Amino acid sequence: MTQQEIQYPVYRRLLNGLTYVKIISPVEMEEIQVVGRHYLVHHLQARILPERNHIYDLTFGIGQFCEEITEAGYLETRARAIDTGADHP
């Protein structure tokens, strides 16, 4: 799969099951981290190469350290984060 074949947004969960990601574009993503009973929501606009590489790895690294999830699965986690008063750094 190439960058041109991707239809954004795409949704991923890290294999540890504690991080959910909505990849909005090759340079933008939203991440939800589960820390105990707390949720942290981060929005990343990639400005430097390591950040762009991180988004690329999440987009194309399926099976290595993340798995595809559905939009519904992501939104369910996002709703739980909002219900618990997620921190927005």
Residue 85, classed as helix, strand or coil, is coil
26 contacts: CB under 8 Å, gap ≥ 6: 3, 46, 52, 55, 56, 59
pLDDT above 90 coverage of the chain, percent = 73
Q: What is the mean pLDDT of residues 69-85?
A: 90
Q: Please give the pLDDT value at position 1.
A: 58
